[in-house]
Amino acid sequence: MLGKVNHVAIAVPDLSAAVESYRSTLGASVTEPQALPEHGVTVVFVTLPNTKVELLEPLGEASPISAFLEKNPAGGMHHICYEVEDIIAARDRLRQAGARILGDGNPKIGAHGKPVLFLHPKDFHGTLIELEEV
Bridge partner residues of 117 (DSSP) = 131
- What is the amino acid identity at position 107? P
Active-site residue flag, 83: no
Report DSSP letters for 75-125, one per residue.
Answer: -EEEEEEEEES-HHHHHHHHHHTTPPBSTTSS-EE-TTSSEEEEE-GGGTT
Question: What are the CA-CA distances from residue 65 to residues 47, 76, 121, 129 (Å)?
Answer: 22, 11, 14, 15
Catalytic residue among 54, 57, 130, 133: 130
Coil, strand or helix: which one is 24?
helix
* Residues 121 and 68: beta-carbon distance below 8 Å: no
Q: Which residues are catalytic?
A: 130
